[in-house]
Structure 1
Amino acid sequence: MFAALRCFSRPPTLPPLLLPASSSWGPPAQVATSLLGRCQHHPCIQPTAGMKTKSALKRRCKDCFFVRRRGHLFVFCKTNPRHKQRQG
């Protein structure tokens, strides 16, 4: 969990005046690329789309189905996860 948060947090950047001349960090652009490269070591993290919030839910394809949970109506789709909707 903390590794995932570390990947999405903003990399530390310091103005060039605050970095010592013998700094092993290099320019801020190199710092950002080296820290962003760490996220590639976590293959389990995949970007996902959130749910659409709608007042009138509709099935968008033949594989969409309705589910009632916690007093709300949801639409889920196994073939296209972008079709997920929540009653709002």
Structure 2
Amino acid sequence: MAEVNRNLDSYIAHLPEVRAEVQALAEARAERMRAAAESRRLTGDFAGSFNVEHGATDSVIYSNDPNALSKNYGHTAPDGTFIDGVHAFEAGIS
């Protein structure tokens, strides 16, 4: 009878090839997010705010822009007009 190691998922996640692929995928997604944010910019701050941190088996992409949600999803300008968001976070998912 075949036996499966209980920690097989952890073993696979820690393989150097798998870790490298996860990191490369995170970097590629962050680039897509930056490109989407660059499509409409005033200062370039939003596109430059995307960062990637790599852990032992995972990677996190985040924005350190305090107005990231408004820029991504849209907001109302001081004159009352609605400004569409750039949807950069969604660009990183697809």
TM-score with structure 1 setting the length? 0.29
- Structure with more helix by fraction: 2
Rg (Cα) greater in structure? 1
Q: Select the structure with the greater relative contact order (CA < 8 A; seq sep ≥ 6).
A: 2
